[in-house]
Amino acid sequence: MSERIITYVEAIREALDQELQRDQTVYLIGEDIGTWGNLYGCSKGLLEKYGKDRVKDAPISEAAIAGCAVASAASGLRPVLEIMYIDFISIAMDQIVNHGARWHQLSNGKINVPMVVRTQGGVGLRNSSQHSQSLENWFVNVAGLMVVMPSTPYDAKGLLKSAIRNDNPVIFIEHKALYKQKGAVPVDDYIIPLGQADIKRKGKDLTIVANSWMVTHALAAAEELNKEGISCEVVDPRTLYPLDEDRICDSVKKTGLCLVVNEAPAAGGWSGEASSVITENCFSDLKKPVKRITGMRTGVPYDKDLERQVVPGVKEVVSGARELLK
Amino acid sequence: MHYSEKDLLKMYKQMYEIRQCDERLAKLKLKDLVMNGFHPYVGEEAVAVGACYALLKDDYMVSTHRPQGHAIAKGASVRSILCEMLGRMGGPSNGLGGPMQWVDAENRFFCGSIVGSGICLANGFGLSVMQAGKKNVCVCIFGDGASNTGSFHEGMNLASIWKLPVVFICENNQYGEAMPVREFVSVDRISKRAASYGYAGLTVDGMDVKAVAEVTKSAIERARNGEGPGFIEAVTYRYKGHYMGDPDNYRTREEIAEWRKKDPIDRCRKELIEEAGMIESEIKSIEEQIIKKSDEDQTWALEQPKPSLEYAVSNVLIPLAGRYA
C-alpha cells in the first residue's frame, strides 16, 4: 500500500472524502464545513465534490445541528457532525447525551444511532478559555458513547473511518496543536479498530500512558530519557472508552512503573480512571503508585507562554518519569 | 372540511380510548404503581387525535414528556402504553423509559422529558426522508413552555431554511408546569412566533378535533409535497395538574370548569349524533366496548413482568467485535 507524508488535517480530510465516496448515507453537517471547508481545512473541497446534500453548512445552532444529526442517524443516515471547538459542545450536550446516547437502549436495541461528533480541543493556538478546553472527560462518563482521540495522522485517518462505520454514537476529538503534524499515511482505505491501544514506543523501565497531543510530549520525553539510558514505553489508548485495559496493563506489568499524562484537569477525569484500572489490575507488579501529570484546574490563559504552562509539556513528563525512577 | 361518519367515529373512539387510558393511569398512580413522571393528558385529546388524522404508519412523530395520547393516536396499543407507564415488559421501551421517555421503533414514535429538545430532533427525521426521496413527514408536538427554549428557535429556523418536511404543533395547554402562558410567553398567540422563521403560523381550537385534523392535514400535505415545514398552535387545556397531585394553586376552579364545558370528547359525541346521525345507544355501546377492552388491557399489563437487571443494563452500546470494555 503506497504511503506518503501528509498532515493530520489532510488525513482527516482524506478519511471524510473516502467515506463520503464509499457510503451514500454518510453526510457532513456543521458550521463552515462547506464553503470554508472547516477552519483548518479538514473538509476543504468536499462541498464542491459531493454537493450541498452531502456537505451541509449549518447555521450557528449547535443544538439544531446535533438534534438533526441524532435523529437522522436513527432513521437511515450516517452523519458526521462537526462542532467547531469542543467548548461549543455545551450547547449540543442535551441532544447528544439525553437522546443520541439513549435511543439504542430505549428502543430495545432496534434503533442504532451511527453518528460521529467530530470536534477539536486543547491549547496551542492562543484561543483562550472558551476555545481551548480539554472536555473529553465529560463524554467518557456517559453510558452509550464511545470516545476517540487520535494522536497521529495515521491514527486520525484509520480511526475516523472506523468511527464512521461504527453503529454507535462516537465522540471523535482532534487536537488543534496536532493539525499541522505530519506523518506517513497510506493512500488507500484502511481502518484502525476502536478500543485498541497502540504502543507508540517500546521500552522496559517505565510505561507512559498518554493520549492526543500528550503522546507527542511523551515521545519527546522518552527520547530525552533514552539519552540517559532510561527506556520508556509509550502507550496511546487512542480510544478513551472503551479502554484497552489489556494492552495498557500488559505494559505496566512488564515495567512496574506508570505515568499517566492527560491535558485535562485531574479531578473527576479519565487520567484517574486509567490510574485506577492500572492499580486494580497491576497492584502486585507496581513498584510505586501510578503517577499522574495533568493540566491545571484553571481556565486556559491567553498568553502564548502561559497557555502552555497550564498543561503538561515535555519538561513535566520528564520530571514525572524521573521521580518515579528515583 | 367534510368528515365521513366513519372518520369522525374513528377519531371519537381514539379520543375516548386515550381518556380511558389516562383515567386508569391516574388510579394506578394513586396506588404508586405509576410514578410522578406520569403527566395527565385529560382535556387535550383532540390535539393528539387531530394531529394524527392524516399521519401514516411510516411517518415520524416526536412527542413530549406527556406523550401517552400522542402515542396511542400514532398507533401504539393501549396495553403497550400501560406497560411502559407501569415499568413492565411489553411497553415500547419494555418499561425502561417509564411515563416520559420511550422509543417505539415500529410506530416511529420518539418522546422525551427534556422540554424543547424534540423540536431539534424532528428535523433529523425530516432530513432523512428528504434525502431518501420519500414522501414521509415528521410531526413534532411540543408544549407552550417549549416555545421559550433555545431549541425552539434553533430548530424552527433550521427546518425553514432547509425546507424540511416537518409539521410543528404547539400544544398550548395554558401552563408550562405552573407558569401561565399569559405571563411567561411574550406574545398572546404562540403562532405569531412562526412568522420570525418564515412560516405562516396558524392558531386552531385545540378542543375541536375536526379543526385540528383539518389544519394538520393541509400542513402535512404541503410538507409531503416538498413545500416545507408548517406551524400550528392548538389551544387546549389540561384539566388535571402538570403532574398528578401538583399543588394546583396557579389557577381557579372556575377556570377549569369553564374549559371543561368545551370538552373535546363531549363535543365530538354531539357531532356524531347531530351531524352524522348516530343514535345515543350506538355510541354508548361503542364506549362500553372501549371500557371493557381498556379493563382487559390493564389486567394484561399488570400481569407483565418487570424488566430484569440484566435486561435493564443491556443495549447500552453495540459491542465492538471481538472484545469490549
Closest CA–CA distance from residue B133 to any residue of chain A (Å) = 12
- What residue spans of chain B are helical by DSSP H? 5-30, 45-52, 68-74, 78-86, 117-131, 150-161, 181-184, 209-224, 253-260, 264-274, 280-303, 309-312
CATH assignment at residue A135: 3.40.50.970
| pLDDT confidence tier of residue B145, bands split at 50, 70 and 90 | very high
Decide if A161 is inside a domain: yes
pLDDT at B107 over 50: yes
Check B124 against A193: CB less than 8 A apart. no
Same domain, A25 and A172: yes
Decide if A42 is inside a domain: yes
Decide if A154 is inside a domain: yes
CA neighbor of B44 nearest in space, from B164, B152, B136, B169: B169
pLDDT at B216 over 50: yes
pLDDT in tens, A245-286: 999 999 999 999 999 999 999 999 999 999 999 999 999 999
- Cβ neighbours, 10 Å, residue A5: 10
pLDDT in tens, B2-23: 889 999 999 999 999 999 999 9
pLDDT in tens, A19-45: 999 999 999 999 999 999 999 999 999
> Residue A238: which domain range?
198-325
Partner residue facing A68 (CB), from B127, B315, B317: B127
- Write down the pLDDT at residue B2: 83
Check A72 against B128: CB less than 8 A apart. yes
What's the CA gap between B153 and A275, in Å, rounded? 43
- Write down the pLDDT at residue B283: 97
Interior angle at CA B265, CA B264 and CA B268, nearest 5: 85
Same domain, A39 and A178: yes
pLDDT at B184 over 90: yes
pLDDT at B324 over 70: no
pLDDT at A307 over 90: yes
CA neighbor of B67 nearest in space, from B114, B121, B131: B114
Count of CB pairs separated by less than 8 Å, A with B: 150
- Write down the pLDDT at residue B322: 57
CATH assignment at residue A276: 3.40.50.920
pLDDT in tens, A75-86: 999 999 999 999
Check A64 against B324: CB less than 8 A apart. no
Decide if A247 is inside a domain: yes
What's the CA gap between A80 and A68, in Å, rounded? 11
Q: For residue A313, give the C-alpha cell.
A: 509539556
Same domain, A159 and A29: yes
Same domain, A214 and A272: yes
pLDDT in tens, A108-157: 999 999 999 999 999 999 999 999 999 999 999 999 999 999 999 999 99
Collect all residues of chain A within an 8 Å Cβ-Cβ radius of residue B112.
Answer: 98-99
Same domain, A220 and A171: no
Q: Give the residue-averaged pLDDT of A161-190.
A: 98
Residue of A nearest to B315 (CA): A105
Partner residue facing A111 (CB), from B96, B103, B154: B103
What's the CA gap between A86 and A10, in Å, rounded? 20
Collect all residues of chain A within an 8 Å Cβ-Cβ radius of residue B97.
Answer: 106
Distance from the first to the final alpha carbon of chain B: 59
Check A244 against B325: CB less than 8 A apart. yes
Structural domain count of chain A: 2
pLDDT in tens, A84-111: 999 999 999 999 999 999 999 999 999 9
Closest CA–CA distance from residue A219 to any residue of chain B (Å) = 26
Element (H, E) at A317: helix A314-325
Q: Give the residue-averaged pLDDT of B286-302.
A: 98
Q: For residue B217, give the C-alpha cell.
A: 392535514
Q: Which of A31, A80, A105, A147 would you mutate first to test chain B, the one with the most B CBs within 10 A?
A: A105
Same domain, A178 and A281: no
Collect all residues of chain B within an 8 Å Cβ-Cβ radius of residue A75.
Answer: 60, 124-125, 128-129
Same domain, A132 and A225: no
Check B124 against A72: CB less than 8 A apart. yes
Closest CA–CA distance from residue B113 to any residue of chain A (Å) = 9
Collect all residues of chain B within an 8 Å Cβ-Cβ radius of residue A106.
Answer: 93, 96-97, 101-103
Same domain, A181 and A238: no
What's the CA gap between A224 and A300, in Å, rounded? 27
Instruction: Give the torsion sign (CA, A183, A189, A194, A198).
Output: negative
pLDDT in tens, B57-78: 999 999 999 999 999 999 999 9
- Write down the pLDDT at residue A240: 98
Percent of chain B predicted with pLDDT > 90: 96
Decide if A193 is inside a domain: no
In DSSP terms, B103 is beta-bridged to B110
pLDDT in tens, A233-243: 999 999 999 99
- Burial-class residue B300 by CB neighbours within 10 Å (0-12, 13-18, 19+): middle
Same domain, A50 and A175: yes
Under 8 Å between Cβ of A2 and A189: no
Q: Which domains does chain B have, with CATH numbers?
A: 5-302 (3.40.50.970)
Q: Which of B89, B94, B102, B110 would you mutate first to test chain A, the one with the most A CBs within 10 A?
A: B110
Partner residue facing A105 (CB), from B96, B112, B120: B96
Same domain, A179 and A209: no
- Write down the pLDDT at residue B304: 98
Closest CA–CA distance from residue A296 to any residue of chain B (Å) = 29
Residue of A nearest to B321 (CA): A193
Collect all residues of chain A within an 8 Å Cβ-Cβ radius of residue B93.
Answer: 106-108
Check B117 against A99: CB less than 8 A apart. yes
| pLDDT confidence tier of residue B1, bands split at 50, 70 and 90 | confident
SS3 A146: strand
Mean pLDDT, chain B, rounded, equals: 96
Collect all residues of chain B within an 8 Å Cβ-Cβ radius of residue A165.
Answer: none
Partner residue facing B154 (CB), from A63, A76, A109: A63
pLDDT in tens, B238-265: 999 999 889 999 999 999 999 999 999 9
What amino acid positions of A are annotated as catalytic residues? 131
pLDDT at B323 over 60: no
Closest CA–CA distance from residue B316 to any residue of chain A (Å) = 5
Decide if A191 is inside a domain: no
Partner residue facing A95 (CB), from B101, B103, B117: B117
Please give the full DSSP string across B59-107, using - where no structure is assigned: SEEEE-SS-HHHHHHHT--HHHHHHHHHT-TTSTTTTSSTTS-EEETTT
Domain-terminating residue out of A156, A186, A216 = A186
Same domain, A125 and A248: no
- Write down the pLDDT at residue A198: 98
| pLDDT confidence tier of residue B142, bands split at 50, 70 and 90 | very high
Q: Which of B64, B136, B315 would you mutate first to test chain A, the one with the most A CBs within 10 A?
A: B315
Same domain, A203 and A126: no
Under 8 Å between Cβ of A232 and A208: yes
Decide if A60 is inside a domain: yes
Closest CA–CA distance from residue A69 to any residue of chain B (Å) = 6
